[in-house]
């Protein structure tokens, strides 16, 4: 409805009739929508009278002296629901049971994209992953294959450590190409990848040399190297 300004006469009618009459009937007489009438009444500070709200015309379902609309239609204490004791799903007659999912059943898109345990895929980061279970959350269903191979031989990866590829090739999954390093070292390596090839080679050789020195020092002092720490030889 196009905008229609209120005249002084219409505002006077609203003041006189709004507190005592149905808003819909008043809106029809003024050729306006109920929303327009409610809005102008709020602007003018008009309210319905208690007598009108208690009348059947207000549709409040009130009993005389009762301030709770619809009280006669509320459930009473001790009321027993009509469906109490009925089992779901499949309690209803007819073909309802035919359309229900069975345990372990997949349909539609879920059936199209489903992959069984043992399926392998390449992750967004380029790692080979294998599906190992059907549990939730979904992210726990897949595990990097190089981590599975490492843990099968050396056990769980210690906190603060990661398994890295010695030659940087994520597809070359061999135990002798895997090494256990700290997260700090992994971060340094990832930064190194963005450097010029010559400088990257020097830094990688320096890191390998330091690891060999630490390993030799532990051996000299009679300490056993950490599990899975093969060390790099130059």
Domains of the chain (ranges, CATH numbers) = 8-67 (no CATH), 114-220 (3.90.75)
Does residue 64 register a pLDDT over 60? no
Does residue 158 register a pLDDT over 90? yes
Does residue 204 register a pLDDT over 50? yes
| Angle (nearest 5°) at CA 18 between 14 and 20 | 140
- The stretches of 44-95 forming alpha helices (DSSP H) are 50-54
Paired tokens of 52: 């009108």
pLDDT confidence of residue 131: 93
Q: pTM, whole model, 2 decimals?
A: 0.43
DSSP 224: P
Does residue 233 register a pLDDT over 50? no
pLDDT confidence of residue 76: 86
Contact 189, 208 (CB under 8 A): no
Contact 163, 157 (CB under 8 A): yes
Task: Tell me how far apart the alpha carbons of residues 18 and 39 are, in angstroms, rounded to a whole number.
Answer: 12
Residue 114 exposed, middle or buried by CB count within 10 Å (0-12, 13-18, 19+): exposed
Strand 161-165, strand 142-144: pairing:
unpaired
Burial 155-172 (b: 16+ CB within 10 A, else e): eeeeeebbbbbbeeebee
pLDDT confidence of residue 16: 94
Task: Tell me how far apart the alpha carbons of residues 166 and 175 are, in angstroms, rounded to a whole number.
Answer: 10
Tell me the per-residue pLDDT of 89-141, one tens digit each, with 9 for 90 and over: 555 566 666 777 777 778 888 888 888 999 999 998 899 999 999 887 887 89
């Amino acid at each position: 409805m196009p905008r229609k300004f209120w005249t002084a006469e219409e505002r006077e009618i609203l003041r006189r009739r709004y507190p005592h009459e149905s808003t819909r009937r008043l809106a029809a007489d003024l050729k306006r929508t109920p929303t327009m009438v409610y809005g102008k009444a709020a602007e003018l500070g008009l309210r319905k009278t208690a007598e009108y709200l208690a009348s059947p015309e207000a549709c409040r379902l009130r009993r005389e002296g009762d301030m709770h609309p619809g009280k006669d239609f509320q459930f009473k204490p001790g009321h027993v629901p009509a469906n109490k004791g009925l089992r779901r799903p499949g309690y209803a007659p007819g073909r309802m049971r035919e359309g229900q999912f069975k345990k372990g059943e997949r349909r539609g898109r879920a059936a199209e994209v489903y992959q069984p345990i043992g399926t392998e895929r390449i992750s967004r980061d380029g790692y080979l992953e294998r599906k190992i279970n059907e549990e939730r959350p979904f992210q726990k269903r897949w595990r990097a294959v190089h981590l599975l191979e490492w843990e099968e031989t050396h056990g769980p990866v210690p906190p603060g450590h990661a398994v890295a590829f010695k030659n940087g090739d994520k597809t070359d999954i061999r135990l002798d190409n895997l090494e256990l390093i700290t997260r700090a070292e992994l971060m340094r390596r990832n930064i190194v990848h963005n450097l010029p090839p010559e400088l990257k080679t020097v830094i990688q050789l320096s890191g390998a040399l330091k690891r060999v020195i630490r390993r030799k020092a532990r051996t000299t002092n009679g300490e056993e190297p950490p599990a899975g720490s093969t060390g790099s030889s130059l």
